[in-house]
Amino acid sequence: MRWQYESRSFPLAWSGEGRPTQFFTPDFYLPEEDLFVEITTMNQKLVTKKNAKVRRLRELYPEIRCKILYQRDYLHLVAKYGLEEPDQLAEVTPPTRLPGPPQVTRLDARGERATAS
């Protein structure tokens, strides 16, 4: 998979003169997916600031796709692909669902999976 490191910065705030004063530069761009990826393994205080920047990015640039991978996501990928067995993995709660949009399952009146008609 092709990727680019810190390939683009997005202005998030401007001065009264119209000059950008705050930027967000995602860690990676995956051109084949047209997706920016931000990886954060920092402490929670800094993660909160980064989440706010991604929310602002989405407000200003709704056409830009950006995914945040948190420390637990990173550690699970490292373990899944056998890159190393991190000691911290035992302390990290596994994700409760796969990343991405929720999948919708239609149920019939009995609560069973509805079949396509």
Domain boundaries, the chain: 4-91
Rounded alpha-carbon distances, angstroms, from residue 82 to 17, 37, 40, 86, 114: 51, 21, 20, 10, 38
- Contact between 8 and 25 under an 8 Å Cβ cutoff? The reply is yes
Listed in sequence order, the residues at least 6 apart from 86 whose beta carbon sits closer than 8 Å to its beta carbon are 75, 78, 79
**Total-model pTM:** 0.67
Condensed to tens digits (0 to 9), the pLDDT of residues 7-43 reads 999 999 999 999 999 999 999 999 999 999 998 876 7
- Contact between 72 and 60 under an 8 Å Cβ cutoff? The reply is no
Residue 93, pLDDT above cutoff 80: no
